[in-house]
Chain A
Amino acid sequence: MSEARAAVSAAVLAGDALTSRSLIRDATPVHGDDLLQDLAGLAADGSPLATELLLEQLDGSGLVRRFVRSSLLDASAVDDVCQDALISVASSIRSFRGTAQVSTWVHSIVRRRVVDHLRRQRATAPLPPEQEGPAQRMSSMLATRATVRDALASLPDLYREPVTLRDVEGLPYAEIAARLDRNVGTVKAQIARGRAMVAGALDPSEWTSR
């Protein structure tokens, strides 16, 4: 393991978000895959900070989007499935085994979410709740459930504010962006990642019980 990777792991284990982010930002692209691997391993062991950083990397690097775009063409479908996939990654990160390649593991999750999406699209009848996408379900859980609100409260401010405005107060993306003085794309990404983090923080039985 290189020094840079060791330093990131140490900062994550110490719970130092600021240092972790700055070390990741300065890491050379050569270490990109190794960093993902380290973060996923720490996240699987139960580190919420590692999960948060992993989601930021998967989303920010465009990896998830690239996988989704390789099988979907419609732009809004791509957005929806990216969110679904991030949530699935967060909620099943505990089952990640370090022996697997993170990108391969994420790709298989994306493929499952793509199939779900296509099935939903193909069905013409209105959807029963269990056929909603993970993002939709997470959104309605956030709005209605106390336990989920507790999980929401534990999010870093950066994510908690936009997710709360969106899923609890029901504001449109544009208005959230205006209120927080961020641009719409940033707000969308933060909401997607924030929802995924909430999903990751929840007890899996809570997440699947609906």
Chain B
Amino acid sequence: MTSAAGRVSAGRYVLDEVIGVGSFATVHRATDDRLDASVVVKILAENHSLNPEVRERFIAEGRALRRVRSPHVVTVFDIGESERQQPFHVLEYADRGTLAERVAALRSGGWTASRQDVLTVARSLAAALEAVHQARLVHRDLSPANVLLRSAPPRDPGHEDSSLVQQDEQLLVADLGMCKDLALNSGLTVAGGTSGYRAPEMLSGPSVIDARADLWSLSALLAWLVDGADLPSELHQALARGMAEDPQDRPEDVAAWLATIEAALAPRPSASPTSTTAAASAPATPTPAAGPARARRPRAVAAVLLAVLLLVGGLALGRFTAGPPDATQTARLAISGPDAVAVGEQAEFTLRSSGVASWTWGLPGGRYVVDATSVTLRPTGPGRATVTVHATDADGTELRAQHRFEVRTDEP
């Protein structure tokens, strides 16, 4: 394990300083010898490496994390085993530290969270958890120390006003909480999750823990973030709902949770004429599309046609020209999808975009979906409805694309 230079190594990875120690694993900053890159190596403690159950959990965590694809979730590059039979994960290195450190540093200078800070954190973490939940996992250990910052090409909507997450930074979530799993399954008495960010149902023994445990932690994290800030009372109400004792009383999923936060922080004069029509077709169920792997080619022509139609329609109606544009010098948004849908029929809307890295769908019924390339709706009542995509280009200019459609009852 010790190389000639006296440095500890695990395979091709030369371990540098220890950046975290848990009860099961030690986290090192490390160098990938072959690719000459900084990585993080999380290595299972030697005494646990002979325990097959702990090994199974640890290896399963690495394989599970590999299934999660999101720019806001730490990437697994590899799993391996040291000469002492200690399995290890090789993870992406986040070069700008943790959210906990960042906030502590800012607070010592008198900072309190702005509306934009909260939105940036909420949207990033919502995108991360949505990806985690789509892989049928529950994070279980979301806390300020598990949210990392890394440098990234300038992107993400709304960073222009955030002093918390710089223009050239991105938030990402690390460490799917394996401690909880381990404690549950091997009878070890280590409490899972991080104190203060652990949902009530995780405190008392094994119980059914679903994705809503993460909503609790997410709300607790935001509550910590907004401590001392002057923000609307609606936000505190939304966070209190996310931290409801009974999981049934929390929003049903991440998208619903984000909708409550977005609504609480929306600029006050919000009663626009279009919002009333959007509400008319209300309860519809958006489901983010399974993935980008669907055939895109055949749709390209239709999408271009639709974009032209939308443009013409927009000019004619005049309404579409109000609000932010759907294109700037560097970015462009367009939504393709049906103009008319029958009640109960499934309708898919697809975003074609360039120059934006992250976006938010606003759907009928006040629901939000982050970063999905397409969404599927099943309208439950007749009327007119609108799907909207909001994003910000690299210069911080806001963009918005809308697609209106009619929902008809099922007769010809």
Contact A70 B49 (CB under 8 A): no
Give the distance to chain B from A85, nearest Cβ to Cβ, in Å: 12
Residues of chain A with a CB closer than 8 A to B80's CB: 73
Q: What is the size, in residues, of chain A's interface with B at 8 Å between Cβ atoms?
A: 13
Residues of chain B with a CB closer than 8 A to A121's CB: 85
Known: A70-B60, A73-B59, A73-B80. A111 touches B87 (CB 8 A): no
Contact B55 A71 (CB under 8 A): yes
A118 within 8 A of partner (CB):
yes
Known: A70-B59, A71-B59, A73-B87. A115 touches B81 (CB 8 A): no
User: Number of contact residues on B: which range applies?
Assistant: 10 to 19
Give the distance to chain B from A133, nearest Cβ to Cβ, in Å: 15
Residues of chain A with a CB closer than 8 A to B49's CB: 118
Known: A118-B85, A122-B85. A73 touches B79 (CB 8 A): yes
A182 within 8 A of partner (CB):
no
Residues of chain A with a CB closer than 8 A to B53's CB: 111
Residues of chain A with a CB closer than 8 A to B50's CB: 115, 118-119, 122
Give the distance to chain B from A198, nearest Cβ to Cβ, in Å: 27
A3 within 8 A of partner (CB):
no
Contact A70 B85 (CB under 8 A): no
Complex alpha-carbon distance, A118 and B59, angstroms: 15
Interface residues of A in 61-106 (CB under 8 A from B): 70-74
Chain A proximity mask over B177-207: 1 for CB below 8 Å, otherwise 0 = 0000000000000000000000000000000
B296 within 8 A of partner (CB):
no
Closest B residue by C-beta to A68: B52
Chain A proximity mask over B79-111: 1 for CB below 8 Å, otherwise 0 = 111001101000000000000000000000000
Closest B residue by C-beta to A69: B59
Q: Which of B52, B53, B59, B79 has the most CB of A within 10 A?
A: B52
Complex alpha-carbon distance, A116 and B59, angstroms: 19
A197 within 8 A of partner (CB):
no
A163 within 8 A of partner (CB):
no
Closest A residue by C-beta to B85: A118
Chain A proximity mask over B45-56: 1 for CB below 8 Å, otherwise 0 = 000011011011
Give the distance to chain B from A82, nearest Cβ to Cβ, in Å: 14
Q: Which of B53, B55, B60, B87 has the most CB of A within 10 A?
A: B55
Known: A70-B60, A73-B59. A114 touches B85 (CB 8 A): no
Contact B52 A115 (CB under 8 A): yes
Contact B56 A71 (CB under 8 A): yes
Residues of chain B with a CB closer than 8 A to A72's CB: 55
Closest B residue by C-beta to A122: B85
Contact A111 B52 (CB under 8 A): yes
Which of B56, B81, B84 is close to A70, meaning CB atoms less than 8 Å apart?
A: B56
Chain A proximity mask over B309-350: 1 for CB below 8 Å, otherwise 0 = 000000000000000000000000000000000000000000
Pick 29 A–B contacts, CB within 8 A, sort by A: A70-B56, A70-B59, A70-B60, A71-B52, A71-B55, A71-B56, A71-B59, A72-B55, A73-B59, A73-B79, A73-B80, A73-B81, A73-B87, A74-B81, A110-B52, A111-B52, A111-B53, A114-B52, A114-B55, A115-B50, A115-B52, A118-B49, A118-B50, A118-B85, A119-B50, A121-B85, A122-B50, A122-B84, A122-B85
Q: 17 more A-B contacts (CB under 8 A) besides A73-B80, A110-B52?
A: A70-B56, A71-B52, A71-B56, A73-B59, A73-B79, A73-B81, A73-B87, A74-B81, A111-B52, A114-B55, A115-B52, A118-B49, A118-B50, A118-B85, A121-B85, A122-B50, A122-B85
Interface residues of A (CB under 8 A from B): 70-74, 110-111, 114-115, 118-119, 121-122
